Structure 1
């Protein structure tokens, strides 16, 4: 389980010899997990037809006892016996859920036979006896708001009793207004979301939230925030057909019954697996939006849900899964849908106005003041989904359907082929006015040494005529950067041992021979990507040459970044060292050179000679430790983001000094201070200068900084977070000096390492030249 887990439901134990009671578990399990098949209801018509008296007697007997506490407790005990014991509940964000506030709990995804919260209630006896409908770690009662029919389904109503109601606005608000300790919970995706749940989907997790804004509106109107809870691997418990998912989802909403044919183990309702985890995400502040901002709040909530899904998916077995939001506009494109459409049984889903091609929109709205395509080139531009205008007949914007907005005339003017030098890829024209207009446009086929294809011939009001290539339906080059192509993967105590194995013989281990012989430089590209994603890599099989650092940087296509210690530096134990690195002592975890205005980006340690004993190289992910600090104490995290600390390096030859906060963030100051914005870590207690930074006028702030540093240092000292390697001659460990801290253990005997630095700007520049995505974008947009 992840660090900081405060709640667990169910444990995994070694199998014991089967008892007579255990032998009864499979049929009982099958029976009590079949309630959403409406098996009981489906049997009523034939039972009434063939045995009416006995059936009515059975219904009367059930009606007389189903509200008795002894019956409800018995049903729950049976469900607790049959339900999965491997379900886990993780509430690392409990400190963010204020005791004096009321929330709407949103449970994701819907799942099939049982959602994640259902498993929590089934497995937790205390939640039943205390009538709380949830794990004790929540600290409040939870009322489950479902489709109206669910609260009347046998077994289900026994499970939730009086803490169950319909998911309409009146029922939800009632819990806030009439109780002091009960929060409502609902599943926003509903039956429609269950239509997309299947164990066959291992790359996509569908969330049916597009257009479903009612729950957000309720929270805005009532001034309440939302607590999302996500159950990972829930959709993988059963297999469902992919045919007509969108149509079934839309129909399910109309008739309030899920049209979800599914099957589990051997075609039964027993699940294919039971290893699920419900994780409580940080609250979403819906109350900060006004009623006229429902659309913005809904988009922000979906972004909030996806962000925390991405942060947690690797921990809970869904590393390569992407969350995709769908809604009523989902277009089915399977064999069954196409067959029914060809027979006229169902119609194609109508597209909304924005999703239809421009030509279709123009023809269906003749009153709209838009261009009338008369020439062949104009028709071609309509086929590319482009519209334009100038004063009177046209306007001064050009819009691409795939883009996020319109192109300004100045943007088009400075990005025509003629405005750039072809060899240097640098701009030639400057001082372009903002009041520029596009006065003419046509489509031509251009043939140049570095570009051949369709381009727009644009005429501008300043007299310039140039060609703008027809862009491909891709996002901007900014979105193709390394940080957007490869997501950062943090690793803490639970993942450190795996990182150690990957460094030794896995995806983070690289061979010098492969780097040297790879003519395509794909190995160098993978090394750069590994340094970005995990912040650490190892290279083996290198010659024991003191000039090896320069050779390594040239192999990558970059250069060694010099420092005051030179291009490279020899790490040997000496008498009276000016840096503890030149002793045989063990070192605390740290990043290098925080006393520089910009510390170096990548650190290289190459082993020339290993010590007789000790001297292990140790690395830990500082960003993961920062995330843990944020979860445990957000105020301490924010203080270390805001408060600059002074670092120094003093010798007889230089006096280096610089100020940095412990955590440097990306983005503007108005954005929330969260670990997702981490840009650089500056942590080196050996070189932190507290004396010159002492402020006698604000001792309280000094105490708070010390306390925050102490909390972070306690996380840094957790050895379970360490990945330790004993390098041998010819091996090198590489660390991201802006993220991964390093140290070494004390040693005996002679030990000789060579160190050097690389510049992240130069390394990323090299990655761009090796990236086919960037090259194709550059050629299509700039040549």
Structure 2
């Protein structure tokens, strides 16, 4: 609750009943005014440009209006009200320093001791609360299982329909993961696969991957997931210089498949935002192209950091393993969580289908559900 408001011609200072203080600049308040001539009532999009705000903008008055702030801007002589809770949620007068490699609020990094999050097929398709919890698990942990689904080809598309759309690639709307005589990708063999993120040679990469089981009677073929953010945290803590090398220089990735397909990307293995937040992990030994963007005198240290990151990723204490049964699936945040599989024999059969989707659709669906049912999210 607001207790007091003071202002100069450029800055408003709010004192809260809990002792907190927050300052807001006049130009920021005017740009974020909530009135219908500044923001479209239906979708909240801004109706003014930065050039529409007077260069000589100042604050003519600022006062409490119940548990809200009322501000009059000059020379427009425009008065706007801001709810106190909205201002508190958007306060920027705070410490902006973060440790390198920090993670955003709402993200929980993990190792093998985690209880794998998941949901039931029927529940997530019929119960909004179950669907919301499943989506929230993907957002927080970067992966979640789904059990009890139909063991029928194409069912994975119904998983994507829960939150968004399939992202079609050169592999099609979805692809088959089973042994092929002349495979175009090592995923289509019975070989074990090191934990990796998919398609690092794309720009942008698909941000979600769904793998759906139709048959799995072969010996082996267990699925494994590893939190790449946790591996990056371990590298940062053990070898900050090596962490900085993998974050500071781009790796190169390449894939040459069927005729007409040659995909290339140049991105760091550990991607950080300008303020040091962990944004993405790209790790895929099979698709790595020669590294040519690291200075000569740093190359050996770069490879040492690369090796150390791989050791953390391969550490059995990091991975969560499970064997999918027909009708079961899992989804991973492909910018964060690596997936792997153990090798499997020719006896029996293993048939999965996979597809890609985009995380913005999942996060949008989750945010909309939480906004319309806040009491259920508590």
Tell me, yes or no, whether TM beats 0.5.
yes
2:19 is the counterpart of 1:410? no
2:63 is the counterpart of 1:463? no
The answer as to whether partners of 2:39 and 2:45 remain within 8 angstroms in 1 is yes
What is the SS of the residue equivalent to 2:84? coil
- Structure showing greater radius of gyration is 1
For 2:268, the equivalent position in structure 1 comes to 661
For 1:769, the equivalent position in structure 2 comes to 368
For 1:731, the equivalent position in structure 2 comes to 328
The answer as to whether partners of 1:641 and 1:665 remain within 8 angstroms in 2 is yes
Task: Give the drift of 1:649.
Answer: 0.8
2:205 is the counterpart of 1:606? no
Task: Describe the superposition over 1:552-603 as per-residue Cα deviations: whole angstroms up to 9, x where unpaired.
Answer: 22223x2223333223222121122111011121111111111112222222
2:123 is the counterpart of 1:514? yes
For 1:52, the equivalent position in structure 2 comes to none
The answer as to whether partners of 1:420 and 1:427 remain within 8 angstroms in 2 is yes
The answer as to whether partners of 2:6 and 2:12 remain within 8 angstroms in 1 is yes
For 2:57, the equivalent position in structure 1 comes to 436
Change (3 A) 1:569 1:435: same
Task: Describe the superposition over 1:110-131 as per-residue Cα deviations: whole angstroms up to 9, x where unpaired.
Answer: xxxxxxxxxxxxxxxxxxxxxx
2:362 is the counterpart of 1:745? no
Q: How far apart in 2 are the matches of 1:533 and 1:441?
A: 40
Instruction: Tell me the TM-score normalised to structure 2 length.
Output: 0.83
For 1:399, the equivalent position in structure 2 comes to 13
Task: Give the drift of 1:532.
Answer: 3.1
Unmatched runs of 5 consecutive residues or more in structure 2: 93-102
The answer as to whether partners of 1:410 and 1:433 remain within 8 angstroms in 2 is no
Q: How many residues align?
A: 355
Task: Describe the superposition over 1:296-355 as per-residue Cα deviations: whole angstroms up to 9, x where unpaired.
Answer: xxxxxxxxxxxxxxxxxxxxxxxxxxxxxxxxxxxxxxxxxxxxxxxxxxxxxxxxxxxx
Q: How far apart in 2 are the matches of 1:531 and 1:764?
A: 9
Task: Give the drift of 1:701.
Answer: 3.2
Task: Give the drift of 1:478.
Answer: 8.2
What is the SS of the residue equivalent to 1:551? helix
Task: Describe the superposition over 1:221-270 as per-residue Cα deviations: whole angstroms up to 9, x where unpaired.
Answer: xxxxxxxxxxxxxxxxxxxxxxxxxxxxxxxxxxxxxxxxxxxxxxxxxx
Higher RCO (C-alpha 8 Å, min separation 6)? 2
Alignment of 1:471-482 (within 5 A): 471-472=84-85, 475-477=88-90
2:180 is the counterpart of 1:580? no
Alignment of 1:82-161 (within 5 A): none
Over the residues paired in the alignment, what is the CA RMSD in angstroms?
3.0
Task: Give the drift of 1:694.
Answer: 4.8
Change (3 A) 1:541 1:614: same
Q: How far apart in 2 are the matches of 1:478 and 1:406?
A: 8
Task: Give the drift of 1:466.
Answer: 4.1
Indicate which of 677, 701, 709 corresponds to 2:298.
701
Q: How far apart in 2 are the matches of 1:598 and 1:513?
A: 33
Unmatched runs of 5 consecutive residues or more in structure 1: 1-356, 358-382, 390-394, 445-452, 672-676, 777-783
For 1:627, the equivalent position in structure 2 comes to 233
Instruction: Tell me the TM-score normalised to structure 1 length.
Output: 0.42
What is the SS of the residue equivalent to 1:589? strand
Task: Describe the superposition over 1:733-761 as per-residue Cα deviations: whole angstroms up to 9, x where unpaired.
Answer: 22222222111122224321111223222
For 2:156, the equivalent position in structure 1 comes to 549
Q: How far apart in 2 are the matches of 1:523 and 1:606?
A: 20
Q: How far apart in 2 are the matches of 1:441 and 1:636?
A: 51
Q: How far apart in 2 are the matches of 1:592 and 1:530?
A: 20
Q: How far apart in 2 are the matches of 1:396 and 1:758?
A: 45
For 1:488, the equivalent position in structure 2 comes to 108
Task: Give the drift of 1:468.
Answer: 1.6
Q: How far apart in 1 are the matches of 2:64 and 2:295?
A: 67
The answer as to whether partners of 2:248 and 2:268 remain within 8 angstroms in 1 is yes
2:376 is the counterpart of 1:758? no
The answer as to whether partners of 2:22 and 2:91 remain within 8 angstroms in 1 is no
Task: Describe the superposition over 1:20-47 as per-residue Cα deviations: whole angstroms up to 9, x where unpaired.
Answer: xxxxxxxxxxxxxxxxxxxxxxxxxxxx
